Amino acid sequence: MKLNNVNPQAQELIDSLKNSDKIRVLFVCLGNICRSPAAEGVMRRIVAEAGMEERFEIDSAGTGRYHIGQLPDNRMRIHARRRGLELTHRCRQVCEADFERFDIIVGMDDSNLANLRRVSPSPEGDAKIVPMAAFVDVAMRYDYIPDPYYEGAEGFELVLDLLQNACDNLFHALA
């Protein structure tokens, strides 16, 4: 898959992971209670429907520490549930070890990407960071996945639509 607006290094990363026996994906946002746990849930379902649970390891984390240990935001859980997704992730903060454990670390917006680069311990770690918007191929007003936290129902629905599109494309780029 040719990615949207990403550097050649990110394209190379995706191409190098394609057809690997094991692919470990970490989704990251600020709070780890709205966007990234929803991305994790959407991706888990896609992988399960393809019967590839053994091949993929999927997790999410936040760059912030405000909500550690909590379930996803109630509003996100309700909107996700309407799409048949039960979100049960417990919030955790991204850490240096994640740059060892995961093959690809997908940030939702520019601030997440900048924070991830600060946590990354090495150039090899930096090379694993990719923007989620690179996998969106429907028309959208943003070049990132917008934070729904201060928005209403429409914000949550928009995020779920974008995450579904991005995860479908990410899965096909990797599988």
| Residue (32 or 164) nearer to ligand 4NP, CB | 32
- Which residue is associated with the tokens 């943003």? 142
**Nearest distance from residue 22's CB to ligand 4NP, in Å?**
27
Residue 103 annotated in active site: no
Distance CA 69, CA 28 (A): 15
| CB nearer to ligand 4NP: pick between 52 and 71 | 71
Asked if 149 is part of the footprint of ligand 4NP (rule: CB under 6 A), the reply reads: yes
| Residue of 34, 35, 44, 109 marked catalytic | 35
- Say which amino acid occupies 1: M
Phi, psi of 106 (to 5 degrees): -110, 115
Considering the complex, state which of residue 17 and residue 135 has its C-beta at the smaller distance from ligand 4NP: 135
- Angstrom CA distances, 37 to 10, 26, 30, stand at 22, 10, 11
Does 31 sit near ligand 4NP (CB under 6 A)?
yes
Asked if residue 169 binds ligand 4NP (CB under 6 A), the reply is no
Identity of the residue, 115 or 120, whose beta carbon is nearer to ligand 4NP in the bound complex: 115
* Active-site entry in 29, 34, 91, 167: 29
| Amino acid present at 30 | L
For residues 103 and 158, give the distance between their C-alpha atoms in angstroms, rounded to a whole number. 27
User: Number of C-alpha atoms within 13 angstroms, CB side, residue 105?
Assistant: 28
Tell me the two tokens of residue 72: 């996803």
Q: Which residues are marked as active site?
A: 29, 35, 147
Positions touching ligand 4NP (CB under 6 A) are 29-35, 66, 147, 149
